[in-house]
Amino acid sequence: MPEDPEPDGYRPQAPMEPFDRLFMAEYGKVVAVANRVLADRAEAEDVAQEVFFEFHRKHRPEASYAPAWLHRAAVHTSLNQIRGRKRRERRELADAQNRDQAGEDPQTVVEVREDRRRVRDALTRLPTRAAAVLTLRYSGLSYIEVGAALGVGAGQVGTLLRRAEQALRKEMSRATSI
């Protein structure tokens, strides 16, 4: 019997419905983008469900702008979500508990949690476009994909990204010095 290196890695049969095809192609990226902001896979998947649900309601899956729309919506939805302090605090508490249960060094847990909290806080203080370009690029999207999501040419992405990285560094330094 043939061994299956990825027993769960189902390769969907063709032809698929246009929306199914779009979903299968983009779901991983949308979750990655949301996860980059939220640092929580379950919440990132919830955001992805919301994003695809909204797209399904309002747009055609064959639309050429579909991937860019999804990526942009993932960033904005995630940033809006993280701006709700109570939600964030609950998530951090759960995150800490999970890590405590996993038997990690408590000091490391605290440091990682604090670092992530500071980065997320900094992201919420950055201009939305700066936070978006950081999130999209560090989620693995290409310059072309990032440009499409932000409505700029790929040639401008480097400039936006460079400025956003500098802004993030300043925000982090400012937060540390306070």
Partner 1 sequence: MRHLSDGALRRLYDEPYSLDEETRAHYNDCQQCQVRFTGVAEDARQALGLMAVPAATVDPAGALARLKARTHRGIGSQRPRVLVLRGSLRRPLVGGLAAAAVAIGLVATTALTPLGASLVQIFQPSRIQPVSIEQGDLTGLDAFASWGDVRWTRTPELKEAGSAAEAANISSLSAIHVDTSKLPKGLAGAPVAYAAVGQSSGSVTFNGKAPSRLSGSTLTVVVGPAETAVYGDLNKLAKSAGSSGSVGAGAGAGKPESSSGSTGLAADNVRNALAAAGPIMAIAEMRAPQVSSTGASVADIKKALLAQPGLSPTVRAAIKSIDDPKGTLPLPIPSGYVNAHTVTVQNVDGTALGDNTGLGAAVIWIKNGRVYGVAGTVTETELLAIANSLS
Task: List residues near partner 1 by CB under 8 A.
Answer: 1-4, 7-8, 10-13, 20, 23-24, 27-28, 31-32, 35-36, 39, 41-42, 44-46, 48-50, 52-53, 56-57, 115-116, 119, 134-135, 137-138, 142-143, 154-163, 165-166, 168-169, 172
Nearest approach, Cβ of residue 9 and partner 1 (Å): 10
Instruction: Provide the minimum distance between the beta carbon of 17 and partner 1 in the complex, in angstroms, as a whole number.
Output: 9
Looking at the Cβ atoms of 1 and 178, the one nearer to partner 1 is 1
22-31 — which CB contacts under 8 Å span 24+ positions?
22/61, 22/66, 22/67, 23/52, 25/67, 26/66, 26/67, 26/70, 26/71, 27/52, 29/67, 29/70, 29/71, 29/139, 29/140, 29/141, 30/70, 30/71, 30/74
Nearest-approach distance from CB 75 to partner 1, in angstroms? 13
Q: Is the dihedral of CA 141, 145, 150, 154 positive or negative?
A: positive
Residue 150 and residue 132 in contact, taking contact as beta carbons nearer than 8 Å: yes
Q: Would you say 76 or 138 has its CB closer to partner 1? A: 138
**Min dist. Cβ of residue 69 to partner 1 (A):** 16
- The residue among 68 and 133 lying less far from partner 1, judged by its C-beta, is 133
